[in-house]
Every structure is written in C-alpha cells, then in structure tokens.
C-alpha cells in the first residue's frame, strides 16, 4: 500500500497507460481521480477503481475546464498529492514530402497546433492549477509523460517530439522551482508500448519494433504504470528532475 490514502490525479485516465496507471495506484491504496474527454469510457474505467475514485470530463487544453476540475477535487478531498500528466495524442506526418522537385504533402499546421495544445500546453495548464494546493499542503508529486522520441528523435513526428522534448524541459525547470516546497517533479519516457495505437498497426511493424528492442518485446502499459508508481511513492523521495526511460533498452535509429 505504497500510496495509501494519497489523492492521485491522472489526466487521460480513461484508457491506455492512464487507465493502467490508475488501476496500479488504486491497488496501492490511492484515491484516484481521473479525467478524460471521453466520458463514456471514463465512467466505465472509474467504476473499477473503487468507491473513492472519481471521473471528470476535462479538456486539458481549456484552462477554465482544468481549474474547475482541480477546484472540485480540493472541495471533495481537501488535497491533491500526486498529479500524473498523461493525456496526449499523436498526429504523425513528415515535415515535408517532395516528389520530382514538387511539394506533394506536409505536416498540417492544424495538426502541429493540436498536438502542442494537448501534449504541452495541457501539461502546463494542469500543473499550474494543482501546484498552489501542493505548496499550501506542504508538498506533492508531479509526474509528466514524455517519450523516448523526445530524447532520441524520430522520423515523421515533428509535432509530437517538440511536445515531448518540451515536457522534459518543463520537468527540469519545475523540479528546480518547486523543490523548496517539497514538490518532486519527474518524467517517464516510454518506448514502444502496446497501447491501442500500436496494437492497431500491421504485425510486420510490431515485429520490427520488437526486433529493435534489446529485451525483445513491446512494453506493456503496466511497465509504464509501475514506473509512475515508483516515482510517486516514498521510495523515490530523493528523486526529482529526472527522466526515467522505460523502453527495453532501445535507442531510436539503431
């Protein structure tokens, strides 16, 4: 029961890594509050998290929506101990694609803006909304979802990489700013992980991911959830400003 009675907020908690993280936290005694834009899936997920859990429909790009969520949590639970900034999307495309000297395709500006607004601005919105309560209560834990591509880069993911590299930068800045308030800030960088996005890919692509991973398999959402659990627990009480890779040993591009 490493998180006994802790109030844990998880964005994008209806499905995927967010859902499994919510389940792991609940198993370890946390009172879990998840948010997501998908109300139907979110309500199904929260039903399995125990009577103390709650679901809110929240758009992390909308500051008023985020502020209302955090206010409701503080009114209900009185505190916020852990924030996992998990919500994110992908909209992959090459920066530009040329054929015979002519531009035939490029990453749409709207896709760049959307990914930045959710993956980067959403992390900023949620953290800034929660931190004052953590300061007043004497401490807390912020955990941010980044990615190995935010460290190593990857083809066709300019927008996603920009956000995940930005999250790493914010993690390090906040660790320095908030440490004096007993708030730890860390990030988790998953490798290829068996979420719905990857599971829907052709088997040939999945086999290629396995072949490029030294441990010889795709990551499981529980692998990532366990990393969040460790960093949220008192076992990581002297760890802040770090990026924990959970990737089976892969280096993109090798």
Residue 2 lies in a domain: no
Token pair listed for 34: 């998840």
pLDDT at 12: 97
Q: How far is CA 159 from CA 92, 103, 153, in A?
A: 8, 19, 11
Residue 118 lies in a domain: yes
Find, among 166, 101, 78, 99, the residue nearest to 127 by Cα. Answer: 166
Number of folded domains that form the chain: 1
Write down the residue that tokens 């909308």 correspond to: 62
For this structure, is 77 an active site residue? no
pLDDT in tens, the chain (254 residues): 999 999 999 999 999 999 999 999 999 999 999 999 999 999 999 999 999 999 999 999 999 999 999 999 999 999 999 999 999 999 999 999 999 999 999 999 999 999 999 999 999 999 999 999 999 999 999 999 999 999 999 899 999 999 999 999 999 999 999 999 999 999 999 998 988 777 777 888 888 888 888 898 989 999 999 999 999 999 999 999 999 999 999 876 65
Catalytic residue among 56, 77, 160, 228: 160
Residue 176 lies in a domain: yes
- We report the CATH number of the domain holding residue 218 as 3.40.50.720
pLDDT at 99: 96
1: helix, coil or strand? Answer: coil
The number of residues making up the chain comes to 254
Distance CA 57, CA 213 (A): 36
CB of 183 within 8 A of CB of 132? no
Residue 208 lies in a domain: yes
Which residues touch 85 (CB under 8 Å, ≥6 apart)? 11, 122, 123, 126, 127, 142, 143, 144, 145, 167
Q: Give 136: exposed, middle or buried? Use CB within 10 Å, 0-12, 13-18, 19+.
A: exposed
Residue 253 lies in a domain: no
Residue 252 lies in a domain: no
**Domain that residue 164 falls in:** 7-246
Distance CA 190, CA 247 (A): 5
Find, among 90, 173, 92, 193, the residue nearest to 128 by Cα. Answer: 173
Residue 139 lies in a domain: yes
Distance CA 33, CA 35 (A): 7
pLDDT at 196: 74
67: helix, coil or strand? Answer: helix
Which residues touch 12 (CB under 8 Å, ≥6 apart)? 18, 35, 36, 60, 86, 87, 88
């Amino acid at each position: 029961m490493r998180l006994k009675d802790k109030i844990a907020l998880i964005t994008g908690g209806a499905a995927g890594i967010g859902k499994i993280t919510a389940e792991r936290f609940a198993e370890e005694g946390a009172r879990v509050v998840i948010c997501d834009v998908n109300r139907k899936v979110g309500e199904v997920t929260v039903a399995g998290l125990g009577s103390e859990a709650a679901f809110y429909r929240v758009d992390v790009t909308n500051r008023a929506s985020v502020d209302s969520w955090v206010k409701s949590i503080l009114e209900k639970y009185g505190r916020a101990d852990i924030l996992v900034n998990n919500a994110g999307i992908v909209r992959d495309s090459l920066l530009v694609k040329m054929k015979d000297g002519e531009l035939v395709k490029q990453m749409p500006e709207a896709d760049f803006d959307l990914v930045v607004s959710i993956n980067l601005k959403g992390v900023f919105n949620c953290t800034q909304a929660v931190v004052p309560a953590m300061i007043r209560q004497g401490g807390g834990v912020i955990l941010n979802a980044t990615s190995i591509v935010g460290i190593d880069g990857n083809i066709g993911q300019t927008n996603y990489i920009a956000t995940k590299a930005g999250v790493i930068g914010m993690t390090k800045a906040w660790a320095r700013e908030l440490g004096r308030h007993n708030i730890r800030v860390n990030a988790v960088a998953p490798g290829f992980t068996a979420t719905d996005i990857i599971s829907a890919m052709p088997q040939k692509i999945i086999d290629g991911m396995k072949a490029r991973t030294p441990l010889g398999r795709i990551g499981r959402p529980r692998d990532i959830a366990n990393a969040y659990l460790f960093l949220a627990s008192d076992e990581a009480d002297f760890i802040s400003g770090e990026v924990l890779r959970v990737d089976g040993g892969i280096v993109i591009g090798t």
